């Protein structure tokens, strides 16, 4: 299986901050990476697919980049609604798709 | 507006079989565009892909669970179901049903709210 790691595991930030989350794959996944946002007690919500394509309805303050084994999710100016846990997921292979362990963005 | 809703028993005994159903509204599971899948989340293993099914009955499973998993369709009710056998405490998790993207690539663009299953005697 392709192993996904994320850093940091927890991030403390303030409203208005620029936030960067890193996701790494154990082998190259080209640009086949998605990002999800999850709030407590809720299902993950798709934010970004194919590394940098924003899902419909997702604010433009979210952006993604990367290729191969290293990827980043950037929140340009953190808003109160953005405090959540963020997961990356590789889909270069469906057997199986795998998720990162998550990065919790909490209020500083 | 697509909605997915999981249902089933919240408590199951070890060694027994879990059966969960996902009811879909706002789209047809007979669609030739989408796969319909199951993903679970536990504190110990995080988010874990279980498997998915296509309208034709084609399925793709996580190899680590394949021997214990069945996914089926009930087109008359617009539902799909998960069966997981030989349960242990490690199967305790929130189970989500989800729709795979219509792009043909394996990410999930719509999820149910999740259903907590506890395996305990």
Mutation target for B interface from A6, A33, A96, A103: give the one with most B CBs within 10 A.
A96
Contact A96 B112 (CB under 8 A): no
> What is the pLDDT at residue B89?
96
Closest to A35 (Cα-Cα) out of A22, A21, A48, A52? A48
Instruction: Report pLDDT digits (tens) over B33-60.
Output: 999 999 999 988 899 999 999 999 999 9
Q: Note which residues in 25-64 of chain B have CB less than 8 A from chain A.
A: 46-49, 60, 62-64
Phi-psi domain of B37 (left: phi exceeds 0; alpha: psi -120 through 50; beta: other)? beta
Beta bridge partners of B18: B84
Contacts of B46 in chain A (CB under 8 A): 87, 99-102
Q: Judge whether B84 and B61 are in contact, CB under 8 Å.
A: no
> How confident is the prediction for chain B on average, in pLDDT?
96
Measured CA to CA, the distance from residue B89 to residue B12 in angstroms comes to: 10
Closest to B87 (Cα-Cα) out of B21, B19, B20, B14? B14
Q: Does A24 touch chain B (CB under 8 A)?
A: no
Q: Does A83 touch chain B (CB under 8 A)?
A: no
CB atoms within 10 A of CB B35: 25
> What is the pLDDT at residue A94?
80
> What is the pLDDT at residue B43?
85
For chain A, the straight-line distance linking the first and the last C-alpha, in angstroms and rounded, comes to 35
Of B62, B63, B114, the CB nearest to A43: B114
Instruction: Report pLDDT digits (tens) over A96-108.
Output: 999 999 999 999 8
> What is the pLDDT at residue B112?
98
Instruction: Report pLDDT digits (tens) over A39-81.
Output: 999 999 999 999 999 999 999 999 999 999 999 999 999 999 9
Q: Does B108 touch chain A (CB under 8 A)?
A: yes
């Amino acid at each position: 299986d392709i192993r996904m790691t994320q850093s940091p595991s927890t991030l403390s930030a303030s409203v208005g901050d620029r936030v960067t989350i890193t996701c790494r794959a154990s082998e190259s996944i080209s640009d086949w990476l998605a990002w999800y946002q999850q709030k407590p007690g809720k299902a993950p919500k798709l934010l970004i697919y194919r590394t940098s394509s924003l899902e419909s309805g997702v604010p433009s303050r979210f952006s993604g980049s990367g290729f191969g084994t290293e990827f980043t999710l950037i929140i340009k100016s953190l808003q109160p609604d953005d405090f959540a846990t963020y997961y990356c997921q590789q889909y270069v292979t469906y057997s199986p798709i795998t998720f990162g362990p998550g990065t919790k963005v909490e209020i500083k | 507006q697509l909605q997915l809703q999981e249902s089933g028993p919240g408590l199951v005994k070890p060694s027994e079989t879990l059966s969960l159903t996902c009811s879909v509204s706002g789209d047809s599971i007979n669609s030739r565009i989408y796969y319909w899948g199951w993903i679970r989340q536990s504190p110990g293993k995080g988010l874990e892909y279980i498997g998915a099914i296509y309208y034709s009955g084609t399925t793709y499973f996580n190899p680590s669970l394949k021997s214990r998993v069945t996914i089926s369709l009930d087109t008359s009710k617009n539902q799909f179901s998960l069966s997981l056998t030989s349960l242990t405490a490690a199967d305790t998790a929130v189970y989500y049903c989800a729709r795979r993207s219509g792009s043909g690539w394996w990410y999930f663009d719509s999820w149910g709210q999740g259903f907590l299953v506890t395996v305990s005697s």
